[in-house]
Structure 1
């Protein structure tokens, strides 16, 4: 089964589908930093390679540029693509910030729809924040009028139904599929064949079976400790970190633990040696003291209350000390949203990648962080990881779709339009 990944980021959706046995064809991502990580690992990787078309440059580009410059070629793909996946940028929908129905980034979902009409894939997967299905309440002028009093998920679902797709959708917690993180996301899953099967409900019901296949315990969530205990600094030697141009940072000398949790076995995935992105933060002494105070004042696993934040003089809206034996809260693009469960520091990029279920062989490239005006233009490692769909969830989707397609004994040729 062949797929295209749109708004691909660093490749979380692609990685999961590749691990499920799919063949990548193309991936569209406009940010050069994120695209380079994707290209390095998956498009031209050592483990996976895309069947990339000759007419499409292997470079970062927007969906708008793809439609403008390559529409005739995209039409030629019609009937040859089994799955199109994509998580259009979600800032206009996020309940964590100011929701704005006129946010220009919302238009990217419309570009996704135009691409669907050209390529006509057999299945569609759209992932977004849960606010994607919340109605906008404000009256907006111009083109955004059509979103008034309905959610963007409703708008897109109606549009997809209108061009012949059977649509199922809903919210799920990624922890259901073995991801050590309570990450709630909204999924729209569509099929060109209306066979009466609700694919979203089938996905939700597949969680326990998927965990069994992955040799994870049924009936309980994977904990943060299961995911990152081997990356603690206690008892480890440190060395200079050299996987980015910025000097003066240190990292642990990684050693495989004597006891490896089932989740950790999945993350090692045959990788030998030290994973990249282990760089430890260089916190000021005052920051370490502040983190110690936060740990003393907090209940692990729960976001610090406003009263406590005010008392400690914190300006952040959300900060959580991890609970060692529970899943993490949602990993975001801001590394200082979460404090380690036993050490007064933020997590390393590799620790956040583990919590997002990226295997250790997957290498993140580019800067670790960025700031100021560059935040709107750059996509450093922490941002790449925080924006990604957890590969374990994508792999579960891929395995569910393959099983569904096999049960119907249908092929791409039968669905050509």
Structure 2
């Protein structure tokens, strides 16, 4: 039986594609505008993946590209795909909708959803999967925008998809439900072409499917996966430090796969015990920064773990950050962001490594991130370093479950 085919738009480094592939779907191609994120996707899901690589069409270059470029240059080829693609998935950049940002209704990145819909009109897949931040479902307020005051943008998208005969379901759902060790509430929209006969919401199926799915992964059927369960094997304490494998003048942990938790075993499936994941580079903090971190870790009664510190405490610590959270080892993490210094390790005076963030996002250890670790200045608008790639990604464990649910819709 042939695998169902998907296209991934706004693909980032490939978290959604990886999950769909693990769910048994066949990737056709992926569209991602930043060179670093596309390099990571290509390295892992095209070049390195010899089992189910993308079946990339000859007419499309394997390079970074925008949805605008593909519409401008390959509209005819997209139209010719009609009837051959089962699913278009994608998470249009979400900064204009995010409560963590300025939440601007006129942010030009919001317009990318319209390009998503334009591609849908050309390809007309049977299913759609759209992922975004929870702010996608909340109304914009104020005036002077091209989105009506108090209009929920999710409803704008729903109306447009219903005009082209899709039945639309959406809900904000937490990634932690799928066994991801962070809450990460995400807006999920699932749409079915000519789906009038579908009465049961896909989200009802998800709730029914979750215990079985988590059990199949060797995870407890309900409850949190804690930060310590996710990353304790990456701690510095008691381990040898060696020169970083991909950056001069930095250190990393010499990895040893001993006494692994169930979640860590899942993340290491497919690799040998001696395999060391990439992106283990440890941060080099200033002495003043390390001392500030030690103060927070050593005073848990004052600086509550697992909770973003109040503004007054951050000021007293000498930082002007908007958000800073010392992690609690026995609870799941806060939502992973693109800013590496938003979170403090639960027992060590440092921020997390890229690999630790990737573990909390449920990326397996064999998945290797490419490009710079961080960037700054004007380059922030163009480059997509590893921390950003991980922070922007759809957790693969969540994506895999969604892929399996959409496949189940055929049988309902």
Matched, 1:327 2:307: no
The CA distance in 2 between the partners of 1:149 and 1:173, in whole Å, is: 24
Cα drift, residue 310 of structure 1: 2.2
Cα drift, residue 183 of structure 1: 0.6
Asked if 2 retains the 8 angstrom alpha-carbon contact of 1:188 and 1:200, the reply is no
The CA distance in 1 between the partners of 2:203 and 2:369, in whole Å, is: 31
- Aligned twin of 2:265: 265
Q: How does 1:362-373 map to 2 (within 5 A)?
A: 362-373=367-378
CA deviations over 1:348-388 (Å, ceiling 9, x no partner): 00000000000000000000001111111100000000000
- Aligned twin of 2:288: 286
The CA distance in 2 between the partners of 1:132 and 1:147, in whole Å, is: 14
Asked if 1 retains the 8 angstrom alpha-carbon contact of 2:283 and 2:351, the reply is yes
- Aligned twin of 2:17: 14
Matched, 1:376 2:378: no
The CA distance in 2 between the partners of 1:255 and 1:218, in whole Å, is: 28
TM-score, normalised with respect to structure 1: 0.94
Which residue, 313, 317, 321 being the options, matches 1:316?
Answer: 321
The CA distance in 1 between the partners of 2:46 and 2:270, in whole Å, is: 20
Matched, 1:341 2:343: no
- Aligned twin of 1:232: 235
Asked if 2 retains the 8 angstrom alpha-carbon contact of 1:31 and 1:60, the reply is yes
- Aligned twin of 1:250: 251
- Aligned twin of 1:276: 278
Cα drift, residue 197 of structure 1: 2.5
The CA distance in 1 between the partners of 2:184 and 2:141, in whole Å, is: 25
Cα drift, residue 399 of structure 1: 1.2
Q: How does 1:154-173 map to 2 (within 5 A)?
A: 154-173=155-174
SS at match of 1:135: coil
The CA distance in 2 between the partners of 1:270 and 1:42, in whole Å, is: 15
Asked if 1 retains the 8 angstrom alpha-carbon contact of 2:177 and 2:222, the reply is no
TM-score, normalised with respect to structure 2: 0.95
Cα drift, residue 200 of structure 1: 2.7
SS at match of 2:99: coil
Cα drift, residue 15 of structure 1: 0.2
Tell me how many residue pairs correspond in the alignment: 401
CA deviations over 1:236-273 (Å, ceiling 9, x no partner): 111111224xx11000110011x222211110012121
Q: How does 1:27-46 map to 2 (within 5 A)?
A: 27-46=30-49
Which residue, 384, 394, 399 being the options, matches 1:394?
Answer: 399
The CA distance in 1 between the partners of 2:404 and 2:180, in whole Å, is: 16
CA deviations over 1:86-136 (Å, ceiling 9, x no partner): 000011111112111111011101000100000111111111111111111
Cα drift, residue 333 of structure 1: 0.2
Cα drift, residue 147 of structure 1: 4.0
In structure 1, the gaps of 5 or more residues are 409-417
Which residue, 27, 35, 47 being the options, matches 1:24?
Answer: 27
Q: CA 1:305–1:205 in structure 2 vs 1: closer, same or farther (change >3 Å)?
A: farther
The CA distance in 1 between the partners of 2:112 and 2:400, in whole Å, is: 25
Q: CA RMSD in A?
A: 1.2
- Aligned twin of 2:104: 100
Q: How does 1:68-217 map to 2 (within 5 A)?
A: 68-140=72-144, 144=146, 146-192=147-193, 193-194=195-196, 195-217=198-220
The CA distance in 2 between the partners of 1:28 and 1:57, in whole Å, is: 10
SS at match of 2:245: coil
The CA distance in 2 between the partners of 1:147 and 1:277, in whole Å, is: 44
Cα drift, residue 298 of structure 1: 1.3
The CA distance in 2 between the partners of 1:235 and 1:196, in whole Å, is: 55
In structure 2, the gaps of 5 or more residues are none
The CA distance in 1 between the partners of 2:315 and 2:39, in whole Å, is: 41
CA deviations over 1:39-95 (Å, ceiling 9, x no partner): 000022234410111111101000000001000000011111111110000111111
SS at match of 2:252: strand
The CA distance in 2 between the partners of 1:200 and 1:277, in whole Å, is: 35
The CA distance in 2 between the partners of 1:149 and 1:79, in whole Å, is: 37
- Aligned twin of 1:360: 365
The CA distance in 2 between the partners of 1:104 and 1:203, in whole Å, is: 33
